[in-house]
């Protein structure tokens, strides 16, 4: 199983901001792969997709970004998903608009969502898509 995590902030005030790019991407990915209906669990919205041979749990934490780990940590623990099978999609202010980068591990670079994930997952060994 994989965890696909989109970082964002809940509420209409943040809906069309760059901080919600993680939500936008996982919403589109889940729709494309005909994910199950979203349900509330662990303080986030959770959906599931089965791709032949692989199950993917899609997670959108519903607390503010700086406490995202409080949702992802318990979900990863409950489903026994190792840290190297967690893919986090988040905004990256240092990249030019329209740029996408894949990164494995590393520091939080001042990103509070990544800081929270690193603390609650017990390390920074997850994969990241920086947009």
Among all residues, which ones are annotated catalytic? 19
Q: Measured between alpha carbons, how far is 90 from 68 in angstroms, rounded to an integer?
A: 11
Neighbours of 65 (CB within 10 A): 23
Q: Measured between alpha carbons, how far is 44 from 63 in angstroms, rounded to an integer?
A: 7
Longest CA–CA separation in the chain, Å: 39
């Amino acid at each position: 199983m994989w965890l696909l995590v989109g970082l964002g902030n809940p509420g209409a005030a943040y809906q069309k901001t760059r901080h919600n790019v993680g939500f936008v991407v996982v919403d589109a990915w889940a729709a494309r792969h005909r994910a199950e209906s979203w349900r509330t669990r662990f303080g986030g919205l959770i959906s599931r997709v089965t791709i032949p041979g692989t199950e993917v749990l899609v997670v959108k934490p519903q607390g503010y970004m700086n406490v995202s780990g409080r949702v992802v940590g318990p979900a990863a623990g409950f489903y026994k998903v190792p840290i190297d099978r967690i893919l986090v999609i988040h905004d990256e202010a240092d990249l030019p608009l329209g740029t996408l980068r894949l990164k494995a591990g590393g520091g939080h670079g001042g990103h509070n969502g990544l800081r929270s994930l690193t603390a609650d997952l017990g390390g920074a060994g997850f994969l990241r898509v920086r947009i």
